Amino acid sequence: MVVYDITDMESFQNLNSWLIEIEKNASKSVHKILVGNKCDLENERKVTYEQGKDFAAQYGMQFFETSAKNSTNVSQAFIAMTKEIISSSEKKPTSKPSETVNISQISQGKSLNKKGCC
């Protein structure tokens, strides 16, 4: 989740550099969601809802405005992120094991790589 403060234009303007850091340091398949926090402070708003929504659309992210203070849309944002992660993991092919182990040999105390007396 990339979060900015709707009452602080500088935090909104920092989004580009934060996304660059994510691209440099996270996996290519990382999921991103944009969250404008402090929507309970409407009278102090510096970043419009439309600016946040447009920015999110530009980068293909879902967008939520939240208030951590009064819990507005907080659960919805986390649920949306969780659904996105689950959805993408269901689309990934499962990997096959690289080696087959005979469980009956292990359960009978026979080690496949046993050496020496121990």
Q: DSSP E strands: which ranges in 8-112?
A: 33-37, 62-65
Q: What is the pLDDT of residue 112?
A: 47
Q: What is the pLDDT of residue 111?
A: 47
- The tens digit of pLDDT for each residue in 19-46 reads 999 999 988 888 899 999 999 999 999 9
Going along the chain from its start, the domains and CATH numbers come out as 2-91 (3.40.50.300)
Query: Whose structure tokens read 């096959």?
Result: 96
The whole-angstrom separation of Cα 110 and Cα 77 is 51
**pTM as predicted:** 0.72
